[in-house]
A and B are shown apart, each in its own frame.
Chain A
Amino acid sequence: MLYWDKEKECMPREHLLELQLRRLKEAAYRVYAFVPAYKAKFDAAGIKPDDINTLDDLKRMPFTTKQDLRDNYPFSLFAVPMSEVVRIHSSSGTTGKPTVVGYTRKDLEIWTELMARALTSAGGTKRSVIQNAYGYGLFTGGLGVHYGAERIGASVIPSSGGNTKRQIMLMQDFGTTLLTCTPSYALFMAEVMSEMGVKPSDLKVQSGIFGAEPWSENMRREIENKLSINAFDIYGLSEIIGPGVAIECPYKCGLHIAEDHFLVEIIDPVTEEVLPDGSQGELVITSMTKEALPLIRYRTRDLTTLNREQCECGRTHVRMQKVMGRSDDMVIIRGVNVFPSMVESVLLNVPGVEPHYLLVVERFGNLDQLEVQVEVSESIFSDEVRKLEDLGRRISKDLESALGVAVKVRLVEPKTIARSEGKAQRVIDKRNI
């Protein structure tokens, strides 16, 4: 099966634009009428819902940031009474107060449909056995995938995150055909599999949908080789709906954003100006159909580009490039923007180097230093100091030319960089800026 909902996924652009305009207007009226914080924002920007006559008017509307969600913690941005809210999710809150999101029954229905589209795009059918190793709970990954997987009629194994040996046992015994988890956890599973002596050929897994953290093309190859599967990228964030905002099709040349529900723009994160298609910038999303928590021009902090050309798969929805990184996990060293994903790409091009790495930023005097810790696996270890030092120098030279900033490479013992069963921590910033 190619599409889950061909009518929507392949809707002619002109119909899509009409639908978007109608839905954008509805969203503007709803937030203006029911969310005091939005009324204040619209008034401050000097715009009323009645002023929205074309999609181009979107850029006159105010932005929403994570800070707005925190300021209105927990429920003040909700556009419906709590009696209409049937589900609440929340972010992990690693950077302050958690952000809280709510869903009406219709919101959940839309989310389920979007995940059904995503799973179908990655080859999922009612004959699939889907092992969902995203964490179940407040995090949207687990339940989001779960309901979509049930919607397409697949057999769902709600294994949640963690207990890796059991995950692998389930994969073997239950004949998992499609795996869903974070990409770093997929690699960790591959590592544990090889320790347990389980070969990919012992398993029936054919494909995997990986998301919730940025990952590079090289990491995709690594996952595909080590697990012998077809790896798809999925994009989403709880503020907008959760996983399923965008998904790769089999052509893997960008992720199709569900444009019948989400209106997207790319802005310059500093000037906040809307950038033309093809420019790299911050993705901004308006969730037009959300009832409980509609967000206008939500700044995702994810950097990407948009491509509106028709995709060979037949879907008409705009494609976003694989996310380059989040601006909050971006580090600026001596004026240079460094993304962990860039470091990862370089490391994976050095034979034998495992993609377990950590960026440590420190300030000595007035000078920032970027240290990249790399684990020494058996395949790169040598009993001669000279050879290891050469390897360290080679990695740091490759990193320097890719990043444009001096890098100190520290070789560390295997398994000393914390493995994550969820989002991997890639950066430790020790500077007090």
Chain B
Amino acid sequence: MAKQISVFLENKTGRLAHVTKVLGDAQINIRALSIADTSDFGILRLIVNDPVKAYKILKEAGFTVSETEVIAVRMPDSPGGLAYVLDQMSEENLNIEYLYAFLGMTGNDALVIFKVEDFKKAKIAFKAKGINFLDEDELYQL
């Protein structure tokens, strides 16, 4: 389990630059990100080293921000690594809302951030299938 910071951005030049500058000025390191966009707006999703602080300073800077629970899944950084995880999830009927890759290195492993429909079910299934996911502290310290 991990906390993702989601930020609402209008589709205008300079908005992403502004968010990243606010985070940079507060010494917050971005570890993973993805942007879901439409023609009018985007949603920036971030994994940072200090989500509590990031949430606070972004809110103070006037952004619409929310905290979202996600799962950071560890898998072998080799062909078929993600396919195996997805296949297992499909077997368990686990619905995925979205996913994106983590930037940092963890040895021979890759990390993928998942937002799933049902967290409890996902955790139980991952444990049963021996799929590794990081707990919050581990993730932020990478």
Residues of A within 8 A of B (CB): 376-378, 381-385, 388-389, 410-416
Contacts and interface: CB of A to CB of B under 8 A. Distances in A.
A196 to B, nearest CB: 14
B36 A385 contact: yes
A383 B66 CA distance: 7
B66 A382 contact: yes
Contact of A383 (B6, B10, B15): B6
Contacts of B41: 376, 388, 411-412
Contacts of B43: 382-385, 388
B95 to A, nearest CB: 12
A385 B115 CA distance: 13
Nearest to A411: B41
A286 B137 CA distance: 74
A382 B4 CA distance: 12
Interface stretch (B20-28, B57-65, B128-136): B57-65
B98 interface: yes
A412 B40 CA distance: 8
Interface in B19-65: 36-38, 40-41, 43, 45, 62-65
A412 to B, nearest CB: 5
B9 interface: yes
9 contacts: A383-B4, A384-B43, A385-B43, A389-B38, A411-B10, A413-B15, A414-B63, A414-B64, A416-B10
A415 B60 CA distance: 12
Contacts of B65: 378, 381
B36 A413 contact: no
A381 B38 contact: no
Nearest to B98: A384
Contacts of A385: 36-38, 43
Given A388-B43, A414-B62, A414-B63, 13 more contacts: A377-B64, A381-B65, A382-B66, A383-B115, A384-B36, A384-B98, A384-B115, A385-B36, A388-B8, A410-B40, A411-B40, A413-B9, A415-B62
A377 B64 CA distance: 6
Q: Is the interface of B mostly helix, strand, loop or mixed?
A: strand
A411 to B, nearest CB: 5
A381 B10 contact: no
Contacts of A377: 64
Nearest to B4: A383
Contacts, number: 55
Q: Is the interface of A mostly helix, strand, loop or mixed?
A: loop
Interface of B: 4, 6, 8-10, 15, 36-38, 40-41, 43, 45, 62-66, 68, 97-98, 115
B34 to A, nearest CB: 10
A378 B66 contact: yes
Given A383-B4, A383-B45, A383-B115, A413 B64 contact: yes
B97 A381 contact: no
Nearest to B39: A410
Nearest to A386: B97
B90 to A, nearest CB: 20
B10 A412 contact: yes
Contacts of B6: 381-383
A392 to B, nearest CB: 8
A409 to B, nearest CB: 9
A378 B66 CA distance: 7
Contacts of B97: 384
Contact of B64 (A376, A384, A389, A410): A376
A327 to B, nearest CB: 31
Contacts of A376: 8, 41, 64
A414 B64 CA distance: 7
A413 B8 contact: yes
B70 to A, nearest CB: 9
A410 B8 CA distance: 13
A364 to B, nearest CB: 15
Nearest to B67: A383
Of A376, A383, A411, chain B has the most CB atoms within 10 Å of the CB of A383
